[in-house]
Structure 1
Amino acid sequence: MSAPRLLAINNYFYRRGGAEAVFLDQMRMFSEIGWDVVPFAMQHPENDNSAYARYFVSEIEYGRESGPLTKAAQAAKIIYSFEARRKLKALIESAPPALAHAHNVYHHISPSIFDTLKRAGVPTVMTAHDLKLACPAYKMLSHDGVCERCKGGRVHNVLVNRCIKGSVALSGLVMVETMTHRALGLYRDKVDRVVAPSRFYREKLAEWGWDPARIAYVPNFVDAAAMRSDWDEGDHFVFAGRLGHEKGLSTLVRAAAMSGERVMIAGTGPEEAALKRLAAELDAPVTFLGYVSGQPLLQLIGESRALVLPSEWYENAPMSVLEAYGLGTPILGARIGGIPELVREGETGLLARSGDVEDLAGAMSRMAALRSGERRRMGAAGREWVLADFSQNAHRDRLLALYRDLGVAA
């Protein structure tokens, strides 16, 4: 009996962000157990090598300067890519898959491919890395905070509130995109199962009209067994990630000033200059380290009192939480989105109300007041939890069960 063939789909075919890491790690995971894994992505100079690259769709990079005709063509591809349909059809004919697993496809490949997969009789799964399947602007976040104004089909609100970069043109385009995709049923009628990495996302999608029976909870994973956890603890808390307004970093800076606790911020982003000004104004004990990755980042987190996630939007299932646990570091998280389900309060970390400076400052003070050994025990409990429930084997077994549900067995 030949090995099953998995068609793995994502806009990018290199480690660009969290979604790409999950996509590539899943490909590797199934290759290791003998599956024939075939990628379908967008052409890009940073892509990994693939024998199937000739089937990839043409590159689109929206940040680049281009003329009006190019912009018009790109806008049409955002809504519906005929090229992606054509190339995917050719790939399916060349290497017929037993099942397709898609990740991020909107704006580049486009969901036009789901109609092609349906017509070819290929069972299709899609991982919801964000809330795009419900919210036209991905995050259920507007300029005034968490936003669910588009619920119940009221997608005109994405234009009314200029949710995409404050732009009428971009917000209008995304409104048309959403209306078109829904009218054609490209997600609801063509995708067989949606994978939610957090219980929160599963429940939120169900609230917005998705059939709960079609949403499978499959949490992310890390290889905690390969991670060092015997760090010498320092006197700092750490935030690591993009410095965007949704991350709650102004709340963290204010909480650091109020509590007097030292915070190291690793990352760059649009809020960096404003956060530095705020820290200077408040004389907050906050150090901005810029972009940090690899071993220096692991050491920074491993030696911290806790990793802080002060988010003010509906986080999904942050990989940073699992990675911190793998390093033996506890979590100090905001009580929002999928974060609370990844923190056993008092056992693996502490929680604070999202956007509440006083509550976060209090939680930081309580964490700092613990003996070092108590914090290390919290981190060790998190590590044991990850080893048991968020391992590669557990993740693969959950996906295999889902695939069997759709009639595909190894």
Structure 2
Amino acid sequence: MMSPDQNRLLSINNYYYPRGGAEVLFLEQNRLFEGIGWDVVPFAMRHADNLPTRYETYFPDEIEFGRDYSLPRKLLNAQRVIYSHQARSKLKTLLDRSRPTIAHAHNIYHHLSPSVLPLLRERGVPTVMTVHDLKLGCPAYTMMRDGQACDSCKGGRLYNVARHRCIKGSLALSGLVMVESYIHRWLKLYEANIARFVVPSRFVLETLVAWGWPRERFVHVPNFVDIDRFRPDEPVGTRFVYCGRLDRLKGVETLVRAAARAGQPLTLAGRGPDEARLRDLTDRLGADVRFLGHVGKQELAQVLQTARAVVAPSECNENAPLAVLEAYAAGRAVIGARIAGIPELVREGETGHLVPSGDVDALADELARFADLPDSRLAAMGAAGRAWVERDFTASAYRDRLVALYSTLNPGAAA
């Protein structure tokens, strides 16, 4: 039972397992607040991969895009994408049982839907939302089309998401997301019900302000990394490392081509929709690429600790990739793409270097240059990165920033 003076955090996200970077942050944030005595109540979608929780009975049914549902279920899912009455009903039952001090939402698009937000406001629960992407401006999340910056939907011209088939090249899915976006804006589901938006990168903050959002609604809170998982004093290795989703938008194909061109060994840690194509490309190029698949937290730390450098080659509008912070925590320099939020996390010549996004030749040249640098130089860059995360990107710094924000919205919220 929760003591009368115990703070309670309602933590909301579509998935309750480490599916991607947003989910990892969501779960780690839950752990942080449990560590300082808060009662953390998760609210997510039911899913076979979910972590165990006694609150699962309050979770709405799963929606998984790409699955072969029956026609009636597809129609029901389409309605729930726009506005999930089931998610709202389930949350109402949970709120009847207990009142949170604060609610913190992460990714709720398409699955839980923002239908839950007005209910929280009606119950007097201040709600914060972490912005993991550009969905508040762009219905397709990315503000990119065909590999180029896109502002077609700026100014409310949301019909362009269907016109250009921005969602998986599908007119049906793009049309559904267009309708969803129009309805959500008409109802002001985010504007009227979220007290503050937490943004991990200044790039995303400034971009959304340029698209019309009031600056005062945003609070910049950088992501964090659990530095205790890493040993930054391991010898510099020989292999370059990428960790993340194997997806063209992440720049992995460019990285494989660059590694082949530079004749440098590369390790890919992660899975994704382009894995088979990347394996085929590796064979055709004769590149030295190891595919590790999904790796757990501890194994990932070991892989990073033995890298020569970590590469973040993204070709999309990344927010604030955790892989860069994890590289620094492991004492490794970073070669990053000069795009979106990545330049905020790479100090040229001090913690790593930046290259033009999507440029195979430039990336190949940088890999070759890093291969020739003395190990002592790379170790110095890694040490600078480690010092940076120890100062600005620790779990305690992240937690304290959130507690300070929560206390401005509910004075009862305190560590």
TM-score (norm 1): 0.95
Distance, in Å, in 2 between the alignment partners of 1:90 and 1:274 is 46
- The equivalent residue for 1:256 is 259
Distance, in Å, in 1 between the alignment partners of 2:275 and 2:58 is 40
Shift of 1:166: 0.9
1:291–1:210 CA distance, 2 compared to 1 (3 A): same
Does the 8 A contact of 2:101 with 2:410 survive in 1?
no
Matched, 1:139 2:142: yes
Distance, in Å, in 2 between the alignment partners of 1:355 and 1:329 is 22
Deviations 1:240-276 (A, max 9, x none): 2211110112322232233232222233322233333
Distance, in Å, in 2 between the alignment partners of 1:75 and 1:387 is 45
Matched, 1:28 2:31: yes
- The equivalent residue for 1:361 is 364
1:215 equivalent among 218, 221, 224: 218
Letter in 1 for 2:83: Y
2:112 equivalent among 109, 114, 117: 109
Letter in 1 for 2:221: V
Does the 8 A contact of 1:146 with 1:312 survive in 2?
no
Deviations 1:267-295 (A, max 9, x none): 33222333334344444443444444444
1:164–1:392 CA distance, 2 compared to 1 (3 A): same
2:23 partner SS = helix
More off after superposition, 370-379 vs 220-229:
220-229
- The equivalent residue for 1:381 is 384
Letter in 2 for 1:185: K
2:349 equivalent among 346, 359, 362: 346
- The equivalent residue for 2:324 is 321
- The equivalent residue for 1:55 is 58
Shift of 1:324: 1.1
- The equivalent residue for 1:307 is 310
More off after superposition, 205-214 vs 85-94:
85-94
Q: How do residues 9-88 of structure 1 correspond to structure 2 at under 5 angstroms?
A: 9-88=12-91
Q: How do residues 261-276 of structure 1 correspond to structure 2 at under 5 angstroms?
A: 261-276=264-279
Shift of 1:49: 3.1
Distance, in Å, in 1 between the alignment partners of 2:358 and 2:65 is 32
What value does the CA root-mean-square deviation take over the aligned residues? 1.8
Does the 8 A contact of 1:126 with 1:191 survive in 2?
yes
Distance, in Å, in 2 between the alignment partners of 1:294 and 1:97 is 30
2:11 partner SS = strand
Q: How do residues 161-310 of structure 1 correspond to structure 2 at under 5 angstroms?
A: 161-310=164-313
More off after superposition, 54-63 vs 219-228:
54-63
Shift of 1:325: 0.9
2:10 equivalent among 7, 10, 16: 7
Distance, in Å, in 1 between the alignment partners of 2:53 and 2:239 is 43
1:281–1:356 CA distance, 2 compared to 1 (3 A): same
Does the 8 A contact of 2:222 with 2:393 survive in 1?
yes
Does the 8 A contact of 2:147 with 2:315 survive in 1?
no
TM-score (norm 2): 0.94
Misfit runs of 4+, over 4 Å: none
Matched residue count:
410
Distance, in Å, in 1 between the alignment partners of 2:383 and 2:181 is 44
Does the 8 A contact of 1:145 with 1:312 survive in 2?
no
2:307 partner SS = coil
Gap regions ≥5 residues in structure 2: none
1:305 partner SS = strand
Shift of 1:121: 1.6
Shift of 1:361: 2.0
2:64 partner SS = coil
Letter in 1 for 2:38: W
Distance, in Å, in 2 between the alignment partners of 1:229 and 1:121 is 45
Q: Percent identity?
A: 55
More off after superposition, 388-397 vs 30-39:
30-39
More off after superposition, 161-170 vs 289-298:
289-298
Letter in 2 for 1:239: Y
Deviations 1:321-352 (A, max 9, x none): 11111111110000111111111111111110
